Amino acid sequence: MKPTLIRSRRLTLGPLAAVALAGLLLTGCGGQNAAKPPAPAGQNQQDGAPAAADAAPPTGKAPAAGSQSGGSTGTGAGAGSGRAEQALARSAPQKISIPSLNVSSSLETLQQNSDGTMQTPKDPALAGWYEPGPTPGSQGPAVIAGHVTWNGASAVFEKLKTMKGGDTIKVTRQDGKTVTFTVDRVAEYPKAEFPTLEVYKNIDHAGLRLVTCGGNFDPKKHYYDSNVVVYARMTGAA
Domain borders along the chain are 6-70+78-237
Q: What is the pLDDT of residue 76?
A: 52
Q: What is the pLDDT of residue 81?
A: 54
Considering only residues 176 and 222, tell me which one the structure prediction assigns the higher pLDDT.
Answer: 176
The Cα–Cα gap between 154 and 233 comes to 27
Topology annotation, domain 6-70+78-237: Sortase; Chain: A; (2.40.260)
Residue 98, strand partner residues: 103
- What average pLDDT is seen over the chain? 73
Average pLDDT over every residue of 75-102: 83
**Predicted TM-score of the model (pTM):** 0.71
Q: Are strands 206-218 and 140-145 parallel, antiparallel or unpaired?
A: parallel
pLDDT, one tens digit per residue, over 125-168 is: 999 998 988 999 999 999 999 999 988 899 999 999 999 999 99
The Cα–Cα gap between 219 and 185 comes to 29
Confidence of residue 42 (pLDDT cuts 50, 70, 90): very low
Q: How many CB atoms lie within 10 A of CB 215?
A: 17
Q: Which range is most confident: 21-30, 49-58, 82-91?
A: 82-91
Q: What is the pLDDT of residue 61?
A: 30
